[in-house]
Chain A
Amino acid sequence: MPYYLVMFFLTILGLVLQSTLLSEYTVAGVKPDLLLILVIFNCIFHGPYQGSLFGFFVGLLEDLYLGHFIGLNALTKGLTSFLGGWLLKGAFRENLLIPVLALFFGTLFNGTMVFILGKIAGINWALDFFYWKLLPVAIFNTCLVPFIYFGYYHWVNQDMEQQSL
Chain B
Amino acid sequence: MTKKQKIIVCLLVVLVLFFTFKMLLNTGIGETAAQPLGGKIIREITAPFQKGIMLITTSVQNVFGYFNDSKQLREQNKIMAEKIVRLEEQIYDLEAERLENQRLKNLLQYKEEKAENYELVMGRVIARNHANWYEMLIVDQGSKQGIAPGMVVVNHDGLIGRIVSVTWNTAEVLLILDREGAVGARIFETRYTPGVAVGTSNSQYLQMIHLPHDLPIEPNQTVVTSGLGGIYPPGIRIGKVIEVLPEPGGLMKTATLKPFVDFSRLEEVFIIKQVLKPEDELITTENMESEESSVEFGGEE
Q: In the assembly, what is the distance between CA of A117 and CA of B22, in Å?
A: 11
Most buried by B among A61, A69, A70: A70
Assess whether A122 is interfacial by the CB under 8 Å rule. Answer: yes
The interface residues of chain A lying within 8 Å CB-to-CB of B21 are: 71, 75
Min CB–CB distance B65 → chain A (angstroms): 12
Assess whether A67 is interfacial by the CB under 8 Å rule. Answer: yes
Assess whether A121 is interfacial by the CB under 8 Å rule. Answer: yes
Min CB–CB distance A126 → chain B (angstroms): 16
Question: Is the pair B24, A121 in contact by a Cβ cutoff of 8 Å?
Answer: yes
Q: In the assembly, what is the distance between CA of A12 and CA of B31, in Å?
A: 26
Question: Is the pair B43, A70 in contact by a Cβ cutoff of 8 Å?
Answer: no
**Selected contact of A15 from candidates B16, B31, B46, CB within 8 Å:** B46
**Selected contact of B25 from candidates A16, A21, A63, A121, CB within 8 Å:** A121
Min CB–CB distance B34 → chain A (angstroms): 9
Q: In the assembly, what is the distance between CA of A51 and CA of B55, in Å?
A: 35
The interface residues of chain A lying within 8 Å CB-to-CB of B85 are: none
Inter-chain contact total with CB atoms closer than 8 Å:
79
**Selected contact of B28 from candidates A24, A61, A65, A123, CB within 8 Å:** A123
Question: Is the pair A61, B42 in contact by a Cβ cutoff of 8 Å?
Answer: yes
* B 38-53 to A, binary, CB cutoff 8 A, 1 in contact else 0: 1100110110011001
Question: Is the pair B20, A74 in contact by a Cβ cutoff of 8 Å?
Answer: yes
Known: A16-B50, A61-B42. A67 touches B35 (CB 8 A): yes
Q: In the assembly, what is the distance between CA of A117 and CA of B28, in Å?
A: 12
Assess whether A154 is interfacial by the CB under 8 Å rule. Answer: no
The interface residues of chain B lying within 8 Å CB-to-CB of A63 are: 39
Question: Is the pair A20, B53 in contact by a Cβ cutoff of 8 Å?
Answer: yes
Q: In the assembly, what is the distance between CA of A75 and CA of B17, in Å?
A: 7
Q: In the assembly, what is the distance between CA of A123 and CA of B35, in Å?
A: 19
Smallest CB gap from A65: residue in B: B42
* A 44-81 to B, binary, CB cutoff 8 A, 1 in contact else 0: 00000000000010001101111111111011000000
Question: Is the pair A19, B50 in contact by a Cβ cutoff of 8 Å?
Answer: yes
Min CB–CB distance B286 → chain A (angstroms): 98
Q: In the assembly, what is the distance between CA of A152 and CA of B109, in Å?
A: 94
Question: Is the pair B28, A122 in contact by a Cβ cutoff of 8 Å?
Answer: yes
Q: In the assembly, what is the distance between CA of A60 and CA of B21, in Å?
A: 12
Known: A68-B31, A71-B24. A12 touches B45 (CB 8 A): yes
Chain B interface (Cβ < 8 Å from any Cβ of A)? 16-17, 20-25, 27-31, 35-36, 38-39, 42-43, 45-46, 49-50, 53-54, 57, 61
A-B contacts, 22 listed (Cβ < 8 Å): A12-B45, A16-B49, A16-B53, A17-B53, A19-B46, A20-B57, A60-B38, A65-B39, A67-B36, A67-B43, A69-B29, A70-B20, A70-B39, A71-B24, A74-B20, A75-B20, A75-B21, A75-B24, A120-B25, A121-B25, A121-B28, A122-B25
5 extra interchain contacts, Cβ-Cβ under 8 A, other than A12-B46, A60-B20?
Answer: A17-B53, A24-B57, A60-B38, A69-B28, A71-B21
